[in-house]
Amino acid sequence: MRVLGIETSCDETGIALYDTERGLLAHELYSQIALHAEYGGVVPELASRDHVRKILPLIRGVMARAQVAPEQIEGVAYTAGPGLVGALMVGASVGRSLAYAWGVPAIGVHHMEGHLLAPMLENNPPEFPFVALLVSGGHTQLVKVDGIGRYQLLGESLDDAAGEAFDKAAKMLDLDYPGGPHIARLAQSGRPGRFTFPRPMIDRPGLDFSFSGLKTYTLNTVAEHKQTDGLPDEQTSADIAHAFEEAVVSTLVIKCRRALEATGFERLVIAGGVSANQRLRSELEKALAKIGAGVFYARHEFCTDNGAMIAYAGAQRLAAGQSEGLPINVRPRWPLDSLPPL
């Protein structure tokens, strides 16, 4: 089954064509980072308008690269939530309209299910069951995964998600948006041990997260070492970035190991933008090797929002006979464990 995938949940327009027999045929991604950087975060109205400008040229480009004509497409998948409602409406409206015009089924895909299944696009995909750490945008969740649509939430962030904490810490250090890659880059020149930041909630039972206290601790540390320009010196900023990244990664690793021990599973999937963090990948691999478990993740280009993950997730559900009616429904909030199983 050949499926067109459309992702417009936030600030990236992703388009892809996926074939259930041949795999990923083509994909393109347009990022709005430069558009939103001067505001220090995503401006929803600007995001929606930019999706309108980019979506059709990207669809034409992907179809041309894959040498696929409209009559060869057998289904359309679009992100229906969670996300920014205006941005979601752009992709959903275009996707549902194309499906109607082409006479093929359409399906709204859960954004986080797309991330969760992104490692399935790799040459060595994980087998079910596994535990998934979803760290994307405003989400930090641990999920027990027995199969597609068979999800049980094990723990989640009670306040700031890990990605949000990275963005806010970066802003404290006057780094550009999005903060994660800039914090990680600055942390490379940081000196281990100068600062020791708290690991939130690791001394409590359960698998929930909280990063607001770590954010406050970082803010206070920056304030204590600021100079006349309001910022710490370059080396101190790097040391703070190193300590902050170390604290977030350590917290995530501890919780992931607990989740695997609680479920008895031997496979962990990490997905979402923060899963591209090299320290997180390295520390998880080392920690899980000690308990005989493995970690799986998507290539870097499929860690952030992209059309390939939506095309793949949609193809699985369309192939199983699921589809949407003509009404367009988007869900800014959408619990992952409410999805129907295949």
Cα separation of 154 and 268, whole Å?
Answer: 13
Binding-site residue set for substrate: 134-138, 167, 180, 277
Binding-site residue set: 111, 115, 134-138, 167, 180, 277, 305
> Please, what's the b/e burial string for 168-193 (b: 16 or more CB within 10 A of its CB; e: otherwise)?
bbbbbbebebbbbbbbbebbeebeee
Closest CA relative to residue 98, chosen from 49, 50, 66, 63: 63
Cα separation of 328 and 170, whole Å?
Answer: 37
Instruction: Report the 10 Å Cβ neighbour count for 260.
Output: 22
Q: Is it true that the peptide bond before 82 is cis, omega within 30 degrees of 0? A: yes
φ/ψ of residue 282, rounded to 5: -65, -45
Binding-site residue set for Fe cation: 111, 115, 305
